[in-house]
Structure 1
Amino acid sequence: MRPFPDLTPILEGIPWVIIGAVATREYMPERTTNGLDIIVMQKDFKRTVSRLKKSGYELVSSLLGPGCFLRSPDGTELYLLFGKQSWLRKALQNPLRNDAGYPVMDLPYLTLMKTESARSIDISDVSCMLGLASDAELLRVREVIKKYAPYLSDDIESMAYLGKLELERGLA
């Protein structure tokens, strides 16, 4: 597992969570990544960029979606995204803490975010994460989906089923 810079002191007072491949490590076997993806609320985006730049991060470019790409003083890629969804506020208030103590998006919200993105790598991640999830975790995922994106309920059930099937057959 590649270590990433500790953003906690830099972003003190700004709610943020790790998303992307580094977040999925908490729910499935690790997949390789060179960058760290984080997300903040839209209202905190400019303040977050400002703090990162003051800490030596270089703003490299904008992203196609809402956010930007920065590079740390040691060369680590940082993808800073922002959103204003009502569920994001809840996700930022209740992060999971990984072994290093960093805030990671909890499985129900990570599932929602990745499913809404509709990127093939994200759909694959969701299927694998849900295939490995316990019944209690799946219940929490279903509750969040029902509350914030009920139109995704059938898709979530299909991905959970396929994820479990792949694991049973040794395909994942």
Structure 2
Amino acid sequence: MALRAYMPERATLDVDILIHERDAQVAQSIFIESGYRLMGTLSIGGFTVQIENEAPIDILTRSDPWLDDAFAHAVLDSAGIPVIPRAYLILIKLQAGRTQDLADIQRLLALTPIAERVMVRGIVEQYSPELTEDFDSLITLADLEFGLPGQ
């Protein structure tokens, strides 16, 4: 869902909610008290809940040092739902490294002004320096596929 704040929405069946790891127990209790069933835990951290006749919801838990800053600077998507800033969304997807995540990053970067790309690169260098080269490659691929931003 966070992607729709920054680019045209793609079809997806899942809903992911990102919370701080320290809030996991409280969040889980609230979902259960609201009628959701706990479906299991996620290998990447978190859990899945589901209410009857609805799609499951993945509650992703993280404890990254940047998480509080990302939450403090959340932006609203087209439905008014707060989502983390594009830079941190790119960082999370880069860290996940799945094929769809990398494709999402390319599409995100295609719509990201060059000055903001520089800022995102700084965040990648700070929190996942081992992924900086991958980030640079994704910028190149985005520019080759979609053209430079603003052109």
Give the alignment's TM-score, normalised by structure 2: 0.88
Aligned residues: CA RMSD: 1.6
Query: C-alpha displacement at 1:84, in angstroms?
Result: 0.9
Instruction: Say yes or no: does 1:154 pair with 2:104.
Output: no
Query: Any conservation in 2 of the 1:66–1:83 contact (CA below 8 Å)?
Result: yes
How far residue 88 of structure 1 moved from its aligned partner, in angstroms, is 1.8
Amino acid at match of 1:101: G
Question: Which structure 1 segments of 5+ residues have no match?
Answer: 1-21
CA displacement at 1:73 relative to structure 2: 4.9
Structure 1 residue 118 corresponds to structure 2 residue 97: yes
**Number of aligned residues:** 147
Counterpart CA distance in 2 for 1:127 and 1:44 is 31
What is residue 33 of structure 2 aligned with on the other side? 54
Q: Identify the match of residue 34 of structure 1 among 1, 5, 13.
A: 13
Q: Which runs of 5+ in 2 are unaligned?
A: none
The answer on whether the counterparts of 2:124 and 2:132 sit within 8 Å (CA) in structure 1 is yes
Distance, in Å, in 1 between the alignment partners of 2:60 and 2:146 is 31
Residue matched to 1:133? 112
Q: Which amino acid aligns with 1:116?
A: Q
Is the contact between residue 131 and residue 162 of structure 1 (CA under 8 Å) also seen in structure 2?
no
> Which residue is 2:64 aligned to?
85
Structure 1 outlier segments of 4+, above 3 Å: none
1:154/1:82 CA distance change after superposition, 3 Å: same
**Secondary structure of the residue that 2:49 maps to in structure 1?**
strand
Higher mean alpha-carbon deviation, 77-86 vs 128-137, is at: 128-137
Identity of aligned residues (%): 32
Answer yes or no: is the 8 Å Cα contact 1:132–1:164 preserved in 2. no
